[in-house]
Structure 1
Amino acid sequence: MEKKAIFFTLLIVSLLVFYYSWLPDPNMKSEAYLPKWILDWSNKNYNLRTGVPFVPFGYFLAAYSQMMNSDKPELNTNLIFIQNLGVAGIVAFIAEGGQFLIQSRNPDLMDIYFAIIGSAVGAFTYSLVNKIRFKNAK
């Protein structure tokens, strides 16, 4: 059950990444439900705002990868980490590539860089939380 919940959360975060990447207005003025301070911050930190949703993406991708590989005795965590960064890069590349089809949007390679960095921060956060959790369980 936990594996399905993590996968579902990862799917929701991915869909949110695509939704916000493919908005016709890059200033997100149409998103009236977001507080003004978030809109102001995202307009001042244009590339950084791309990396923010990739932090939970990286976190849940690391959790899902660990659950999928938990039955393997010799788990190569470095290889899984690199694969997860590749997946994050592919998701960011698709999100940025979709902007070619939106007249008012312009894809930016720096967004892919920030997405990969955000995903790495999420994966490191998951690793840290996991180490603290297992240390306290002993």
Structure 2
Amino acid sequence: MKTQNVWKKSTIIIFLLVCTGSIFYYSWIHNPGLETETYLPLWVRKWSNEYYNLRTAVPFVVLGYLLEVWQRLSNAAGAANQSPFRLKNFIIIAVVVCLAEGGQFFIATRQPDFMDVFFGISGGIFGCFVYHLIQKINLLFSKNA
């Protein structure tokens, strides 16, 4: 059982690194419009150009969700600290979004945007709440089964 938990934690850490790396990659590419990212489907590129700030929130929803999963797997007590708002995860999300936006100061074709910081943090918090909502729904169905 302990080996299985180690594998789960390792997998979540890999997903967290990939998610964070993709956030930095897309924040620091030279063309903010994603036209040069031809491997992305056309509908994704069009949507991201139409909803410019909202697209910042999307990867942070995933990051917030993964941070909550990692927190649950790392929590030795299991049931302790069930609050849907964890300051530690909020700080991690805020640091990642600030680093991603701050890095744009060094790219001539990019400009940091405070609204991206707002949308990134909002997306991360939303991801945390989605995790807890799913946990509540699972608990509800497991009691009824």
Amino acid in structure 2 at the alignment position of 1:135: L
Residue 116 (structure 1) aligned to one of 112, 116, 121? 121
Amino acid in structure 2 at the alignment position of 1:47: N
TM-score between both structures, scaled by the size of structure 2? 0.87
Amino acid in structure 1 at the alignment position of 2:15: T
What is the aligned-residue RMSD (CA, Å)? Answer: 1.6
TM-score between both structures, scaled by the size of structure 1? 0.91
Question: What is the rounded CA distance, in whole Å, between the counterparts of 2:45 and 2:54 in structure 1?
Answer: 13
Deviating more after overlay: 62-71 vs 101-110: 62-71
Tell me the number of residue pairs that the alignment of Structure 1 and Structure 2 aligns: 137
SS in 1 for 2:39: coil
Q: Deviations over 1:117-138 (max 9, x none)?
A: 1011111110011122233233
Contact 2:61 2:125 in 1 (8 A): yes
Seen in structure 2, the aligned counterparts of structure 1 residues 103 and 127 have a Cα distance that, compared at 3 Å, is same
1:3-18 correspondence to structure 2 within 5 Å: 3-18=9-24
Contact 2:72 2:78 in 1 (8 A): no
5+ residue gaps, structure 2? 1-6
Seen in structure 2, the aligned counterparts of structure 1 residues 110 and 119 have a Cα distance that, compared at 3 Å, is same
Amino acid in structure 2 at the alignment position of 1:99: Q
* Superposed displacement of residue 77, structure 1: 2.3
Question: What is the rounded CA distance, in whole Å, between the counterparts of 2:90 and 2:124 in structure 1?
Answer: 7
Amino acid in structure 1 at the alignment position of 2:77: D
Contact 2:60 2:93 in 1 (8 A): yes
SS in 2 for 1:52: helix
Aligned to 1:129: 134
Amino acid in structure 2 at the alignment position of 1:84: N
* Superposed displacement of residue 2, structure 1: 0.8
Question: What is the rounded CA distance, in whole Å, between the counterparts of 1:113 and 1:34 in structure 2?
Answer: 25
Residue 39 (structure 2) aligned to one of 28, 33, 41? 33
Aligned to 1:99: 104
Question: What is the rounded CA distance, in whole Å, between the counterparts of 1:73 and 1:125 in structure 2?
Answer: 18
Seen in structure 2, the aligned counterparts of structure 1 residues 73 and 126 have a Cα distance that, compared at 3 Å, is closer
Identity of aligned residues (%): 40
Seen in structure 2, the aligned counterparts of structure 1 residues 26 and 72 have a Cα distance that, compared at 3 Å, is same
SS in 1 for 2:62: helix
Deviating more after overlay: 14-23 vs 126-135: 126-135
